[in-house]
Amino acid sequence: MLAKRIQPLAYQARRLYVELMFQVMGRALQAVSEVDREVREEAQTLPKGFLFEMMVMPDGAKLIVEHIGEGHFHYHRDSAPRPVDVSIRFKHVAHAFLVLSFQEKTAVAFANDRMLVDGDVSYAVRMTRVLNRLESFILPKIVAKRAVKEYPENLHFPEKLISAAQIYLKVASHFAQTARA
């Protein structure tokens, strides 16, 4: 009987965690595009106006970012101004939780058929590299190594610390602006 009561609570906790992580990741994608040259170079090959979505199926939490040019992203929260170009969709909130709690790498989740890619796969791969670079900055190295396919060899502690601080400050200020609005 206790298990029947705990199970819905665990589902709700995972769902809320995924929603929060999508909000943080969306803002962090915008911030990292302002902070890191490698992310801007990776994103510059995306067409201006390119919309990327990551979501939980069927109508769960989502994040939407737009490439606004010169390698910069703009976070649109969960509403797209037009149809998205690439969508990465988790089949269930439990699958999204595994990836967003850094228990499973994105590549492993895809290999285990926990997610779908809708749109140009080369753009999805590019966005995954951007997400991996972001996670390498904002997570402790031991956690980032579990989260990303390959931890960047050229990412040294001083650069990581300074960039992470800049990203977190921008994310916090974006949350504050949203709260004031």
Q: Global pTM? A: 0.92
Q: Does a structural domain hold residue 118? A: yes
> Among 122, 107, 134, which residue's Cα sits nearest to residue 47?
122
Q: Is residue 154 part of a domain?
A: yes
Predicted local distance difference test score (pLDDT) of residue 7: 80
Please, are residues 73 and 65 in contact by the beta-carbon 8 Å criterion? yes
pLDDT tens digits, one per residue of 58-71: 999 999 999 999 99
Per the domain annotation, does 105 fall within a domain?
yes
User: What is the model's pLDDT at position 3?
Assistant: 67
Indicate the pairing of strand 51-56 with strand 62-69: antiparallel
Q: How many folded domains does the chain comprise?
A: 1
* pLDDT score at 138: 96
Considering the domain boundaries, does residue 120 fall inside one?
A: yes
**Distance of alpha carbon 71 from alpha carbon 53, whole angstroms:** 17
- The answer as to whether 99 is a domain residue is yes
Burial 140-166 (b: 16+ CB within 10 A, else e): eeeebeebbeebeeebeeeebeebbeb
User: What's CA 62's distance to the chain center, in Å?
Assistant: 10
CA–CA separation, 85 vs 157, rounded Å?
Answer: 35
For residues 9 and 138, the model is more confident at 138
Predicted confidence (pLDDT) per residue in 145-166, tens digit: 989 989 999 999 999 999 999 9
Residue 133 is encoded by which pair of tokens? Answer: 């670079």
What ranges in 2-112 are assigned the alpha helix state H?
Answer: 2-35, 37-44, 93-100, 106-111
Greatest CA separation for the chain = 56
Angle at 47 between CA 33 and CA 57, to 5 degrees: 75
Q: Is 163 inside a domain boundary?
A: yes
CATH classification of the domain holding 102:
3.30.1050.10
- Whether 75 maps to a domain, the answer reads yes
With 80 as the cut, is the pLDDT of residue 5 above it? no
**Interval 24-33 mean pLDDT:** 97
> 50 is in which domain, residue-wise?
13-175
The tens digit of pLDDT for each residue in 72-111 reads 999 998 899 999 999 999 999 999 999 999 999 988 999 9
Cβ-Cβ contacts under 8 Å for 45 (sequence gap 6 or more): 126
